[in-house]
Amino acid sequence: MSKTLQIGIIGGGMIAQAHMKNFANDSRTALRWLAEINPEARAKSAETFKIPHASGDYNDMLKDPELDAVVVCTPPVSHREIGVAALRAGKHVLMEKPLTVSPEDARALLAESLKHPTIKISGCSARHARYNPKFAFVKKMVDDGLLGQVYFVHHRALARQGRGGVEYNPNAKWFLDKTKAGGGPLYDWGVYDLSFHLGVLGEPELTKVDAFCVNGLDQVVTNAPVFTVEEHGGAFMTFSNGMKYFWERANNAHVEVPNQTTILGKKGGLRFGFCTWDSAEFEFFDVDNNGTGKARKQVLTCDMQGHKDDMLPLGQGFIAYLLNEGPAPMPLKLEVKNLEILHAVYKAANW
Ligand SMILES: NC(=O)c1ccc[n+]([C@@H]2O[C@H](COP(=O)([O-])OP(=O)(O)OC[C@H]3O[C@@H](n4cnc5c(N)ncnc54)[C@H](O)[C@@H]3O)[C@@H](O)[C@H]2O)c1
């Protein structure tokens, strides 16, 4: 590996801007290539971040022997093809989330990665989950037994008019097409929800699911050819450890419910918002005198001082992984497992 890690970005849209900022500002990395099919976007980003090589075809960068790693920032429909090509070219890979649009694509990417044991590959769903101090905070409480046996997780996050490709990143019409995006809010944010909730609870396996999905909630003009993703969806799941998980997400519903998780165990319960921008306070409910006394509620605070945003730790985690100084930000096997759960939810919803 070269002294300064040489990074290539594939897809120079919204999220790529944050990745490029990370790698441009880190002395251990240099941005060497940008592949972007839109010539104006390509020229603009190449100039802003002083990237010496740019092309409309990502295969050009994959031929460069000096290039160490690529970050795949294109819409999900192209992730499998690009990820496989990068692995075959011997480049380390950071795959944006959602990993792919189908479990078949995800498993194919995993299978390809296993053929290249010296090439590193990671997903990105650690971004709002494992790298957030709240993840370690909750995991420690669970592991220390403060909640006792966890029997129920409840998570809701329902927004109004926050649709990808409409109100959010409105130029990215692919967000509305299930064949290109893989899904709506259940998919886009579900990768983080599962990464956080199942991660703190020891990665149980899904055994049963019932679900619903809906769209067409208003007469929005999307200027997009199709609108096949859900706006609102939910699931009731059972896991291998017997735990039940009620989960609901909407980027458009006729109600507003802030991002909130409740984890209930036989000894205690925890209520919080897991995102960096949610409150750092956690409500912890238990019974004093070792369960024999009075019901009590304590407000605990997670120290978020060293964690201002979620992109920087992801970039630094990937660099540490490349330098053999840390684990994969999100191991591909787990990324595939969670994606399979999301598709089981869609199947149960006949969506
Ligand atoms: N926007 C966000 O807030 C956000 C956050 C986290 C993750 N992501 C994920 O990042 C990925 C990209 O999302 P985005 O919001 O940046 O989308 P975007 O539409 O803003 O950017 C995607 C870019 O990829 C380019 N592109 C498409 N196919 C290409 C190809 N074959 N080769 C080179 N360039 C190609 C497009 O021209 C576009 O500029 C998605 O998987 C998304 O879920 C987005």
Q: Can you list the residues of the chain whose pLDDT is less than 50? A: 1
Task: Identify which of 9, 51, 57, 96 to mutate to test ligand 1's pocket (most ligand atoms within 8 A of the CB).
Answer: 96
Q: Does the beta carbon of 11 lie inside 6 Å of ligand 1?
A: yes
What is the model's pLDDT at position 3?
Answer: 83
What is the model's pLDDT at position 148?
Answer: 98
Question: For tokens 């964690």, what's the residue?
Answer: 307
Atom of ligand 1 nearest to the CA of 57: 32
Task: Find the 11 Cα to ligand 1 centroid distance in Å.
Answer: 6
What is the model's pLDDT at position 18?
Answer: 98
Residues 6+ apart with CB under 8 A from 277: none
Domains of the chain with bracketed CATH: 5-126+312-326 (3.40.50.720), 133-307+337-348 (3.30.360.10)
Task: Identify which of 51, 60, 74, 180 to mutate to test ligand 1's pocket (most ligand atoms within 8 A of the CB).
Answer: 74
Sign of the C-alpha dihedral computed for residues 103, 104, 105 and 110 taken in this order:
positive
Count CA atoms closer than 13 A to 50's CA, side-chain side: 4
**Which H or E element spans position 265?**
strand 257-265
What is the model's pLDDT at position 9?
Answer: 98
**Looking at ligand 1, which residue's alpha carbon is closest to its atom 25?**
11
Q: Does the beta carbon of 199 lie inside 6 Å of ligand 1?
A: no
CA–CA dist 89, 78 (Å, integer):
17
Residue 146, classified by CB atoms within 10 Å of its CB into exposed (0-12), middle (13-18) or buried (19+), is middle
CA–CA dist 282, 265 (Å, integer):
15
What is the model's pLDDT at position 112?
Answer: 98
The residue among 6, 182, 216 whose CA lies nearest residue 91 is 6
Task: Find the 10 Cα to ligand 1 centroid distance in Å.
Answer: 9
**Looking at ligand 1, which residue's alpha carbon is closest to its atom 19?**
172
Task: Find the 173 Cα to ligand 1 centroid distance in Å.
Answer: 11
Residues 6+ apart with CB under 8 A from 118: none
What is the model's pLDDT at position 295?
Answer: 98
Task: Find the 14 Cα to ligand 1 centroid distance in Å.
Answer: 6
**Looking at ligand 1, which residue's alpha carbon is closest to its atom 35?**
11
